[in-house]
């Protein structure tokens, strides 16, 4: 009998990639739903690192999840299992004797080690990087259900991911707070938010927090249009302006701002806020300050919406296994939770549609995207 056909009695869960508020809620839902079915539930520590340790240590890289272990964690940020966005098992960095780094595929070892520990199925919680890993493991014969996670909201085939609402809530509150200090000093405040190559966080927080300018990757900006908006406001007696900029925003004809090249093709975005601010200063001669929200967006307690999404996703992943499903991603299709084949969800990102009603709403409210269209 192949592993895929075997009746489930033991499952594992891993959390991979950047953390997002709601991960602990998923772990709790998976654990309680698994235990309810009489299954043993194990948590793999630090993404997949816990199952890639030398054989004699693998036991230490997994933790048996019990009712007690997952008590009182729904509202906690982060992940009790730990995570990493640096040790992708498909491109695992190994240091060679000459000090250079080689990337190797260690997914076979994951499948082998999980079998060694009689794990019948894996619930993998993560963003697009983890989704590719889930796909590879599934193709290698492991029974896998993927749970989508990211504050960036950029995963395709799901209406939303948990973590996004918490990030938007914090960014909105930050913009709210900046209004009074910006107004008191007659300054321009530039707020940089995460989101990678998608502008969801900037757009939603910018509209909800009444920013004056929103810069997102999907609508390349013209810095002169930003300056025009600031000057227009000055002429109307509003001597301050709030600009929210997504880390992946780029000027028309320009490139994204990269803070650091990680190993392999990954890049760490960031620095666009400083760049935009310095250009605003030199064009408008106004006092301009930058606030980079960065990892604050990933921390803190998940909102009730994110907790609910996370709990629903976790429980749905276990139900999928119980129903004999395999190689699928849990997805939100309001009001339902549904399942889509991992192969369909992979490789595509979900960007802000430039004609979406949220973008149109922003324009109707007079918010500028610093493009050719009049706000
Ligand atoms: O994908 C989540 C995210 O927070 C992005 O918004 C951001 O670009 C990236 O992760 C930051 O990664 P790191 O934790 O490596 O700084």
Which domains, and CATH codes, for the chain? 10-162+302-334 (3.40.50.450), 165-299+353-364 (3.40.50.460)
- Cis-peptide into 213, omega within 30 deg: no
Specify the ligand 1 atom closest to the Cα of 154: 1
Mean predicted confidence (pLDDT) in 229-241: 97
Q: Say whether pLDDT at 215 is over 60.
A: yes
Residues noted as catalytic: 152
Kindly report the protein residue whose alpha carbon is nearest to atom 3 of ligand 1: 18
First to last CA, the chain: 63
- pLDDT the model gives residue 223: 98
Judged against a pLDDT cut of 90, whether residue 5 lies above it is answered with no
**Among candidate residues 56, 54, 55, 29, the one with its CA nearest the CA of residue 43:** 29
- Whole-number Å distance, alpha carbon 38 to ligand 1 midpoint, is 37
The model's pLDDT over 131-161, given as tens digits with 9 standing for 90+, comes to 999 999 999 999 999 999 999 999 999 999 9
Which atom of ligand 1 approaches the CA of 269 most closely? 8
Residues with CB under 6 A from ligand 1: 18, 85, 127, 150-152, 194-196, 247, 268-269, 298
Q: Which protein residue's CA is at the shortest distance from atom 10 of ligand 1? A: 18
Q: What is the pLDDT at residue 4?
A: 67
| Structure tokens belonging to residue 296 | 């604050």
Does 162 score more than 80 pLDDT? yes
For the segment 262-274, what is each residue's pLDDT rounded down to a tens digit? 655 578 899 999 9
Q: What is the pLDDT of residues 325-361, one digit of tens each?
A: 999 999 999 999 999 999 999 988 999 999 999 999 9
> pLDDT digits over 68-126, tens only?
999 999 999 999 999 988 878 999 888 899 999 899 999 999 999 999 999 999 999 99
Average pLDDT over residues 195-217: 98
Tell me the CA–centroid distance for residue 270 and ligand 1, in Å. 10
How far is ligand 1, taken at its centre, from the CA of residue 172, in Å? Answer: 19
Percent of the chain topping pLDDT 70: 95
State the chain's mean pLDDT as an integer. 94
Sign of CA dihedral 42, 46, 47, 50: negative
pLDDT tops 60 at residue 3: no
- Ligand 1 centroid to 229 CA: how many Å? 30
pLDDT tens-digit series, residues 363-375: 999 999 999 876 6
SS3 101: strand
pLDDT reported for residue 94: 86
Least confident span in 35-44, 93-102, 241-250, 345-354: 93-102
Q: Which residues of 163-201 are buried (b: 16+ CB within 10 A; e: fewer)?
A: bbbbbbbbbbebbeebeeebeeeebbbbbbbbbbbbbbb
Tens digit of each residue's pLDDT (9 = 90 or more) over 308-325: 999 999 999 999 999 999
pLDDT at 55 over 70: no
Look at the pTM and tell me if it is higher than 0.75. yes
Q: What is the DSSP string of 300-362?
A: SPPPHHHHHHHHHHHHHHHHHHHTT--SEEEEEETTEEEEEEHHHHTT-B-PPPTTSHHHHHH
pLDDT at 320: 97
């Amino acid at each position: 009998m192949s592993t895929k056909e075997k009746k489930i009695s033991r499952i594992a869960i891993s959390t991979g990639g950047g953390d997002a508020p709601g991960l602990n809620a998923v772990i709790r839902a998976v654990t309680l739903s698994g235990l309810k079915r009489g299954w043993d539930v194990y948590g793999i520590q630090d993404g997949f690192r816990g199952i890639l340790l030398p054989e004699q240590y693998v036991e230490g890289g997994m933790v048996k999840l019990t009712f007690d272990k997952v008590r009182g964690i729904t509202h906690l940020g982060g992940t009790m299992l730990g995570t990493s966005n640096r040790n992708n098992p498909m491109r695992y960095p190994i240091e060679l004797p000459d000090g250079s780094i080689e990337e190797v595929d260690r997914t076979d070892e994951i499948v082998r080690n999980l079998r060694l520990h009689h794990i019948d199925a894996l619930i993998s919680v993560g963003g697009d990087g983890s989704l590719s890993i889930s796909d590879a493991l599934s193709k290698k014969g492991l029974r896998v259900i993927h749970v989508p996670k990211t504050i960036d909201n950029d995963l395709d085939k799901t209406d939303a991911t948990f973590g996004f609402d918490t990030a938007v809530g914090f960014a909105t509150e930050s913009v709210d707070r900046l209004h009074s200090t910006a107004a008191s000093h007659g300054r321009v405040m530039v707020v940089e938010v995460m989101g990678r190559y998608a502008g969801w966080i900037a757009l939603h927080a910018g509209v909800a927090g009444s920013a004056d300018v929103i810069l997102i990757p999907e609508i390349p900006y013209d810095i002169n249009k930003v300056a025009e908006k600031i000057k227009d406001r000055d002429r109307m007696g509003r001597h301050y302006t709030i600009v929210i900029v997504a880390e992946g925003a780029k000027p028309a004809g320009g490139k994204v701002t990269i803070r650091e090249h990680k190993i392999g093709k990954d890049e760490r975005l960031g620095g666009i806020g400083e760049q935009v601010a310095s250009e605003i200063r030199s064009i408008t001669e106004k006092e301009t300050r930058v606030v980079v929200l960065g990892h604050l967006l990933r921390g803190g307690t998940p909102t009730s919406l994110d907790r609910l999404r996370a709990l629903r996703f976790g429980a749905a992943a276990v139900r999928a296994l119980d129903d004999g499903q395999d190689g699928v991603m849990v997805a939100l299709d309001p009001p339902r939770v549904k399942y889509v084949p991992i192969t369909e969800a992979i490789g595509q990102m979900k960007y802000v549609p430039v004609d979406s009603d949220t973008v149109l709403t922003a324009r109707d409210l007079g918010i500028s995207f610093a493009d050719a269209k009049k706000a």
